[in-house]
Structure 1
Amino acid sequence: MMILWTRFAVLLVVLNSPYSFATNEGSSFYEYAKVKVARAISGNTAWDGPTNGPSAVYNKSIIFVASDLRNGGVYGVGKGMSEAISHLDWHLRFIDGLGSETRQGAAIRKAIGFGPDAIVLGGIDAERHKDVLKLAQKLGIVVIGWHATEMAGGNEEIGLFMNITTDPLDVAEVAALLAIVGSKGKAKTLIFTDSNYKIATIKSDAMAATIRKCQECQLLEVNDLPLDKVSELMPKTLEKLWEQYNQDITHILAINDLYIDYAIPSLESNLEQHDQVPLNISAGDGSKAAYKRINTDNFQLATVPEPLYLQGWQIIDELNRSFNDLSPSGYSAAVHLVTPENVEELVSQKGHGIYDPENGYREAYLKIWKPQ
């Protein structure tokens, strides 16, 4: 059983593995898995988003209401928006919700009071603030969200023109497929999730369903561990799981990097005792700590980041479409797997820890907004 990965193991397995195991859907499933994982690792070099749309309107006022500007994802999206708006004559203001649902609600109401043309919710649950969002809608203020609902797309019932996120079902599937392909169809997995969050359940259910498609793989357990208690409960939880499953665990799949953050002490202890540890894959986030672990082959095999700057540019494009009384573009960025093969740029000084696909999205959006 392969336990510790070398620098190039992931890509070699993905590209060179034989069709050596059966699944419920036959060898075509493994072929599908290999192709999808390889594509997610390689990244997108060609723009697959919108290539036409309305020219930019003039003199618009936007307020970005952040769930918490200390959150790297929220901050990155805001930075992407700032970069995009620098090419227009729009005005952008930031209001920080400071990580509290009450303060976030107050921040949205404050934003409405300024009478902007649009409000962008950065990581704020739109459903929990639907009443105030409907007020914004009545006042003619366009509302767009980033990670404001579980899925990409608009929601007229809560006054949301568009929500921008990568597809959580796709993210979860790719994470699970990496475990399947990397293990040559013999993955024995644990999944960590938090049922307090619908998005977490969506991801963990999708990961579990993907693992079940592989006949020789085993889904050992889906462990419901609340995110706000993970630092307290993870050591005892893993101790119990080590005892229950012994060394049968080949992979741990988590809905985000935080679970792996707090699993490290237990993984280190297990490595000292048994000279082997499970491979850990996160279906979300793409934190700097995760990139560092992946780059040093230190207890994390992969994570799935959001293209934050790209999504900031997309927010501006979707707003421009709404100002022109058009429907959203419907675009959702493709899933990208960060592994030892492609992590180096993200941990370099150039990368600044943000996955920024080199697919020409900036030029594509500028051609739409400012046609020659």
Structure 2
Amino acid sequence: MLAAGALAGCERGSSAGGGDSTAGPRGCPAVLARAKAAVERAERNDAPWNGPTHGPRAVPGKTIVYVAQTMTNPGVAGAAQGVREAAKAIGWRVRVIDGGGTPAGIQAALSEAVTLKPSGIVIGGFDPKSTARQVAQANAAGIPLIGWHAVASPGPSARPRLFTNVTTRVEDTARISADWVIARSNGRAGAVIFTDASIPFARHKSELIRKGLARCRDVRLLAYENIPIPDAGSRTPQEVSSLLSRFRDEWTYSVAINDLYFADAAPALRAGGRRGSGPPFNIGAGDGDPSAFQRINHRQYQAATVPEPLSQQGWQMIDEFNRAFSGRAPSGYTAPVHVSTAANSAGATSWNPPGYRAAYRKIWGS
């Protein structure tokens, strides 16, 4: 059995004969019961809007620059689209600059954004510490920065200085992903985790998933695959083919920090003779872009996702900027965790809390 510390440092998949486990009798009846209850709550679609209903009226004439880690990341792109839509509703202008997924490209994109002297800048899906010089320049110029998945926790950040960071709670997303595997497998699974260890947020999430799975003795972690998101298209099929060869029918579940891994895994799973409806049964611990919903709804190599409410988060970022421009504090809102499957998505290609557009429009007076 591979020690947890060694596993955390793996640079690609590593097998562990017994997998991570906890002490005690076989199975995990108490953990299983809690997991099933949590998943049942998270799969509900009828929760009312619990976000902000009061705030400042729209400040006119603002310009926002959204700096994207890479627009090939569906989550980053989906949040950007939400920002565009909300900016139109409030009467602002938006420009998107794509960092291309490389450190140099992201630094250049943020440098360009600062040079444009916009009203505000979105840090879209990358670690602000990797652009410390540009962040310092924006801070010195008095340009508010709002992160999307930029740091580990939602809310304001002092170092780096962000007015707020918009994301679901990574602890909730990781926990419900692990709960889904435990609940669906009745506590008996051979699991693989896909992550991008170059992104601190993603690495933290995958470590939390690993710990969540380890709560159940008979959920064995077969491999921990570190595949950078920009390389997912080329590397994931190769790694999946290798996993199929190594583990065969032992591999029954997968959790990925981003749904896009399963788009890239599908051809290799198909070539390996696996059915689209599984196993392995795959859940994406984040994003929930339209292509993920299509795979889920058509039962093609993805069974579930824990979707970020990408459109709502785009609207929230515009609302948070409006609060910053008005001298108000951040809203403090964090969207609830949700699990989407073919059974509860009703053919939809996204998930967002109901009522958010009307709530924000009412706040802004638009």
Taking structure 2 as the reference length, the TM-score comes to: 0.81
- The runs of 5 or more residues in structure 1 that have no matched partner are 1-20, 347-352
Number of positions where the alignment pairs a residue of Structure 1 with one of Structure 2: 339
Going from structure 1 to structure 2, the CA distance change for 1:211 and 1:94 (only over 3 Å counts) comes to same
Q: Root-mean-square deviation (CA), in Å?
A: 2.8
Q: Find the counterpart in structure 1 of residue 172 from structure 2.
A: 170
Going from structure 1 to structure 2, the CA distance change for 1:115 and 1:276 (only over 3 Å counts) comes to closer
- The runs of 5 or more residues in structure 2 that have no matched partner are 1-25
Matches within 5 A, 1:175-186: 175-186=177-188
| Per-residue deviation, 1:311 | 0.8
Q: Find the counterpart in structure 2 of residue 356 from structure 1.
A: 352
CA distance in 2 between partners of 1:172 and 1:47 (Å)? 23
| Per-residue deviation, 1:105 | 2.9
Q: Find the counterpart in structure 2 of residue 128 from structure 1.
A: 130
Q: Which has the larger radius of gyration?
A: 1
Going from structure 1 to structure 2, the CA distance change for 1:219 and 1:115 (only over 3 Å counts) comes to closer
CA distance in 2 between partners of 1:68 and 1:235 (Å)? 21
Name the SS for the 2:250 alignment partner.
coil
Do the aligned partners of 1:168 and 1:203 also contact (CA within 8 Å) in 2?
A: yes
Structure 1 range deviating more: 300-309 or 39-48: 39-48
CA distance in 2 between partners of 1:46 and 1:253 (Å)? 28
CA distance in 1 between partners of 2:210 and 2:312 (Å)? 30
| Per-residue deviation, 1:296 | 1.7
Q: 2:273 is matched with which residue: 271, 274, 277?
A: 271
| Per-residue deviation, 1:240 | 4.2
Structure 1 range deviating more: 309-318 or 96-105: 96-105
Do the aligned partners of 2:32 and 2:186 also contact (CA within 8 Å) in 1?
A: no
Structure 1 range deviating more: 114-123 or 68-77: 68-77
Q: 1:298 is matched with which residue: 297, 300, 305?
A: 300
| Per-residue deviation, 1:315 | 0.8
CA distance in 1 between partners of 2:43 and 2:54 (Å)? 28
Q: Find the counterpart in structure 2 of residue 196 from structure 1.
A: 198
Going from structure 1 to structure 2, the CA distance change for 1:110 and 1:152 (only over 3 Å counts) comes to same
Q: Percent identity?
A: 37
Matches within 5 A, 1:209-248: 209-248=211-250
Name the SS for the 2:255 alignment partner.
strand
Matches within 5 A, 1:270-349: 270-271=272-273, 277-346=279-348
Name the SS for the 2:251 alignment partner.
coil
Going from structure 1 to structure 2, the CA distance change for 1:299 and 1:61 (only over 3 Å counts) comes to closer
Q: Which amino acid aligns with 1:355?
A: W
| Per-residue deviation, 1:81 | 2.6
Q: Find the counterpart in structure 2 of residue 367 from structure 1.
A: 362
Structure 1 range deviating more: 66-75 or 184-193: 66-75
CA distance in 2 between partners of 1:212 and 1:191 (Å)? 12
| Per-residue deviation, 1:285 | 2.8
Q: Find the counterpart in structure 2 of residue 150 from structure 1.
A: 152
CA distance in 2 between partners of 1:292 and 1:213 (Å)? 31
CA deviations on 1:193-246 (whole Å, 9 max, x unpaired) are: 232222222122111111111233322332334445444444554444344434
Name the SS for the 1:36 alignment partner.
helix
Do the aligned partners of 1:255 and 1:284 also contact (CA within 8 Å) in 2?
A: yes
| Per-residue deviation, 1:128 | 1.5
Q: 1:141 is matched with which residue: 121, 140, 143?
A: 143
| Per-residue deviation, 1:339 | 0.8
Do the aligned partners of 1:130 and 1:159 also contact (CA within 8 Å) in 2?
A: no
CA distance in 1 between partners of 2:114 and 2:230 (Å)? 31
Name the SS for the 2:64 alignment partner.
strand
Q: Find the counterpart in structure 2 of residue 40 from structure 1.
A: 42
Name the SS for the 1:94 alignment partner.
strand
CA distance in 1 between partners of 2:231 and 2:87 (Å)? 39
